Amino acid sequence: MPVVTKDMDSAFQTAGANPGLEVWCIENQQLVPVSKSSHRKFYTGSAYLVLNAVFPKIGPPQYDIHYWLGNEAKKVDSSLASDKALELDAALGSCSVQYREIQGQESQKFLSYFRPCLIPIEGVFTSKQGNLNGEYQVRMYTCKGDYVVHVKEVPFLRSSLNHEDVFILDTALKIFLFSGCNSTIQERAKALEVVQYIKENKHGGKCNMATIEDGKFVGDSDVGEFWSLFGGYAPIPRESPSVQESEAPPVKLYWINLQGKLCETGSNAFSKEMLETHKSYMLDCDGEIFVWMGRQTLLTERRTAIRAIEDFVRNEGRSNKTHLTFLSEGFESTIFRSYFTNWPKTVEPRLYEEGKEKVAAIFKHQGYDVKELPEEDNELSIDCSGTIKVWRVDGDELSLLSVTELTKFYSGDCYIVQCTFPGNGRDETLFYAWLGSRCVMEDKTTAISHMSTMADSVRTNPVMAQIHEGKEPAQFFSILRKLIIFKGGNSSGYKKFIEEKGIVDETYKENLDALFRVQGTSPDNMQAIQVDQVSTSLNSSYCYILQSKASIYTWIGSLSPARDHNLLDRMVELLNPTWLPVSVREGNEPDIFWDALGGKSEYPKGKEIQGFIDDPHLFALKITRGDFKVKEIYNYTQDDLITEDVLLLDCQREIYVWVGLHSVVKSKQEALNLGLKFLEMDVLVEGLSLNIPIYIVMEGHEPPFFTHFFSWDHSKENIVGNSFERKLAILKGRPKNLEGHNRTPLKAKSRDSTPNGHRSISVFSNGRGRSSSPIPSGAGSDRRQSGDRLLPSSTSVVKRLFEGSPAHGSAEKTTPQSDSPATELSSSNETASFTQKDRNMDGENSVIYPYERLRMVSANPVTGIDLTRREVYLSNEEFREKFGIPKSAFYKLPKWKQNKMKMSLDLF
């Protein structure tokens, strides 16, 4: 909620209280709210203020403020819009990022709010609009952009056409799309989205459309009709080659004094220490200018700084393409921080993350039986009833492990894991290359090469992943169920390396002492990791197994969860069924226990808290003549996965490289190298480890643990052709399906036995509580809202978990775990009924209660309702008021987005 002051504009009283877009326009020197139905109507003679609010599951709201200036807007309105943007920022606690947007030069982020396009309207905004009737006016537009489109109206003249761009000619009865011969396929495809928008919004969906190719003269009646509108065909002149751009000037930093004068303080090399908290600065990057305002600057000083920069841009004759971004200290953008060396990576404390363990620990020390607090990660399960095979890499040789060896890895070795699971009408395959922390480079390189060859030999285009010891995704552990990671290694390369370096061979042997840390989530997902046999390896939040000559001990940390206590005995039995361990609780250890660890010393008490995970970011990877460029796509959707491109989804704990069928990348090995290059670049300045998992996903074979980051439409996977041909087929209602490639939502399959396999298991994906990128609620139901932590979509996959571990060579009987959330849906019929239930929630027959009684914390709470679906009991009117959309639109959103919106309203 905004900070209310007596000078604050009344229009900001509730600004930023709900997620999504809010739009205001300057009318008669007053700020007037624009209704949601008119959010896309920007008039060229007006100035607008746009607020996009994002509500993360953890942490404060995130705000972006844009002030948009029409080309014909009055100077006084433009100045007022700038002042109001600063005033709104102050009302929101000076924690927003502000952008100046010029008509025709809008930023990619701004345009992403209004997909598929924003088409400015001639004239001036008025809050008392009337119905305009009259003859339909023919208009022509040019469309530029591959992910978001800049649409600009041009004169309806033949001279407006060229060979470089895509044009739309909108007439009363037909819409023509003219593609210049030098325009890209992606631009043509995006222009088709604009055609669809115009057809639906200006023609009520009732008009014809035609595509015209540059240079095509005969054989098509649409071509003749198109040129007749220009008075007949005439050749389009070739434009002269563009002048080579000059080298960009050096980046400069200026201090802005209280009088608005700029004083240069440095160029090219900058550090954060140069920015003083009581001053404002301008970072001049030529095409983009940043204004940084210290936390202790006053509102009047900020207003002076912004005016000074706007005057600087105008007086210096800078292009309208120059973007202005205004930042407050502590809310610097990634691009801004990238200009400074060694910008400190500060992580704000997250009360939920830190508090949940501290509270549990306090209650445990006081003797209370505290139930385990839920993990923040919400794992999305996929049914995996196929085979598991594991090979150990030894130079050029691969050794297939037996069933008894499947659970034993060594840090000095590399392994290839193949998991086959039932897909949609066929088996799908997932390959992992697990690289031990002590493996030699030769084995690492060979493991990747072997995995790539094996993956390329499988017809179903399997997903391939490179993972390192210590950075394994949750899904990997779930696949293997039980895993022990020993020190040392067995490959000849490792043995040779330690011999040459004179390193003691630490390879585990049963007759030697050893210390294991036990971790996991259940008996079907547990690990024992061999650690250094010293007391500093202990941690009060874990349980351990100590193997010594005198005895076997199980050590229970005072802050360890009860879940881990149950895993201890199971893991001891897995290590050696003949062992009879002595259970020791922290604080009651005998001296012989400490002697086995070389003496008692200080050790950590708490688990390392995972840093706050930001929402996923989607990037297009552009590879041209060896040049590698990265472009972020804001508010992404499935439609941004363009078949001609390679895209990368950065989830911070893992990344996914998605390869389009028509891209220049033709091998998974090449895609993996692009992922590694991305990590090295550290595009978001987030300090990503080079060892995080890298998944390679091929178009048309996207697994559920990738698609759940999107609002996924499986029917779009089946259409063939390039991106333009696919969009055109959808627009004309004649999509061509790829034969033998029918992909529908994953359905549960239960198998009593697994032929030709070691065993059958159920697998979790590594959904890390991450949502996709932000999108305002008013900008389309099929887009994701930033800031939500990812919640599993129970209708996207059918959850199935099984207990028990099969004996070698025997069939496995599986039974669902009744206490698991995965048993909520057990058949495709239940999925269908659940979806239908969602759709019926907009009915008028539901019992109605007021919002204040339905909130999680209410003075007079309603009883006897479904507490997981509180929103159902709101009236249609109050539902629209609170959520900003009708119930019917709400239940078409992905489940995670529904939960996030409910969470922001205290209904979840």
pLDDT at position 502: 93
Cα separation, 307 vs 309, in Å, equals 5
Hey, what amino acid is at 740? G
pLDDT band at 868 (very low <50, low <70, confident <90, very high): confident
Q: Give the tens place of pLDDT for each residue, 516-533.
A: 999 999 888 899 999 999
Backbone phi and psi for residue 724, each to the nearest 5 degrees, phi listed first: -70, -45
C-alpha distances out from residue 127 to 71, 85, 344, 364, 885, Å: 20, 20, 47, 61, 22
Q: Do 446 and 412 touch, CB atoms closer than 8 A?
A: no
pLDDT band at 323 (very low <50, low <70, confident <90, very high): very high
| 591-608: average pLDDT | 89
**Nearest C-alpha neighbor of 323 from the set 638, 530, 152, 101:** 101
Model confidence at 676: pLDDT above 70:
yes
Please state whether beta strands 552-556 and 582-585 pair in parallel, antiparallel, or not at all (unpaired). parallel
| 610-620: average pLDDT | 78
Kindly state the percentage of the chain with pLDDT values over 70.
78
Residue 202 burial (CB < 10 Å; 0-12/13-18/19+)?
A: middle
Model confidence at 587: pLDDT above 90:
yes
pLDDT band at 556 (very low <50, low <70, confident <90, very high): very high
Model confidence at 845: pLDDT above 70:
no
Please count the other Cβ atoms lying within 10 Å of the Cβ belonging to residue 798: 22
Backbone phi and psi for residue 87, each to the nearest 5 degrees, phi listed first: -65, -40
Long-range contacts of range 243-251, CB-CB < 8 Å, 24 or more positions apart?
248/286, 248/287, 249/286, 251/283, 251/284, 251/285, 251/286, 251/339
Q: Residue 821 carries which DSSP code?
A: G
Model confidence at 173: pLDDT above 60:
yes
**Nearest C-alpha neighbor of 462 from the set 432, 437, 503, 485:** 432
Q: Which of 160-164, 834-838, 878-882 has the lowest mean pLDDT?
A: 834-838
Q: Give the tens place of pLDDT for each residue, 206-251.
A: 999 999 999 876 567 889 899 999 988 888 888 766 555 567 788 9
Q: Which of 62-76, 591-605, 718-732, 815-829 has the lowest mean pLDDT?
A: 815-829
Residue 712 makes CB contacts below 8 A (sequence gap 6+) with: 638, 702, 796
pLDDT at position 128: 74
| 741-752: average pLDDT | 34
| 50-62: average pLDDT | 85
pLDDT at position 682: 85
Cα separation, 476 vs 490, in Å, equals 22
pLDDT at position 503: 92
What's the mean pLDDT when you consider all of the chain?
Answer: 81
Please count the residues of the chain. Answer: 908
Give the DSSP H/E element, type plus range, for residue 569: helix 562-575
pLDDT band at 760 (very low <50, low <70, confident <90, very high): very low
| 118-125: average pLDDT | 92
| 41-57: average pLDDT | 92
Higher pLDDT: 805 or 119? It is 119
pLDDT at position 484: 96
pLDDT at position 242: 58
pLDDT at position 840: 44
Q: Do 463 and 696 touch, CB atoms closer than 8 A?
A: yes
pLDDT at position 281: 96
Q: Do 167 and 195 touch, CB atoms closer than 8 A?
A: no
**Nearest C-alpha neighbor of 451 from the set 702, 653, 671:** 671
Q: Give the tens place of pLDDT for each residue, 765-801.
A: 443 333 334 333 333 333 333 333 333 333 332 222 2
Q: Give the tens place of pLDDT for each residue, 559-585.
A: 999 889 989 999 999 999 999 999 999
Q: Provide DSSP, 46-86.
A: -EEEEEEEE--SSS--EEEEEEEE-TT--HHHHHHHHHHHH
Model confidence at 743: pLDDT above 70:
no
Beta-strand ranges (E) seen in 246-321 are 252-256, 262-267, 280-284, 288-293
Higher pLDDT: 795 or 113? It is 113
Model confidence at 54: pLDDT above 80:
yes
pLDDT at position 138: 92
pTM value surpassing 0.75 = yes
C-alpha distances out from residue 281 to 97, 342, 700, Å: 15, 19, 48
pLDDT band at 553 (very low <50, low <70, confident <90, very high): very high
Give the DSSP H/E element, type plus range, for residue 680: helix 668-681
pLDDT at position 136: 84
Q: Do 263 and 252 touch, CB atoms closer than 8 A?
A: no
Higher pLDDT: 846 or 607? It is 607
Structure tokens at 463: 């997903």
Model confidence at 357: pLDDT above 70:
no
pLDDT at position 218: 59
Q: Tokens 């009283």 belong to which residue? A: 13
Collapsing DSSP to helix, strand or coil, 32 comes out as: strand
Which value, to the nearest 10 degrees, does the dihedral of the CA atoms of residues 34, 36, 40, 42 take? 0
Q: Can you count the helices (H) and strands (E) in the chain?
A: 20, 34
pLDDT band at 344 (very low <50, low <70, confident <90, very high): confident
Model confidence at 122: pLDDT above 50:
yes
Structure tokens at 402: 């037996």
Model confidence at 829: pLDDT above 60:
no
Model confidence at 882: pLDDT above 80:
yes
pLDDT at position 774: 39
pLDDT at position 143: 95
Collapsing DSSP to helix, strand or coil, 802 comes out as: coil
Beta-strand ranges (E) seen in 532-578 are 543-547, 552-556
Model confidence at 823: pLDDT above 90:
no
Model confidence at 354: pLDDT above 80:
no
Model confidence at 6: pLDDT above 80:
no
Q: Which of 414-418, 622-626, 867-871 has the lowest mean pLDDT?
A: 622-626
| 603-614: average pLDDT | 72
Model confidence at 835: pLDDT above 60:
no
Collapsing DSSP to helix, strand or coil, 466 comes out as: strand
Model confidence at 843: pLDDT above 50:
no
Euclidean distance between the first and final Cα of the chain, in Å? 20
pLDDT band at 735 (very low <50, low <70, confident <90, very high): low
Q: Give the tens place of pLDDT for each residue, 365-386.
A: 444 444 444 444 445 456 656 6
Higher pLDDT: 768 or 483? It is 483
Cα separation, 384 vs 172, in Å, equals 55
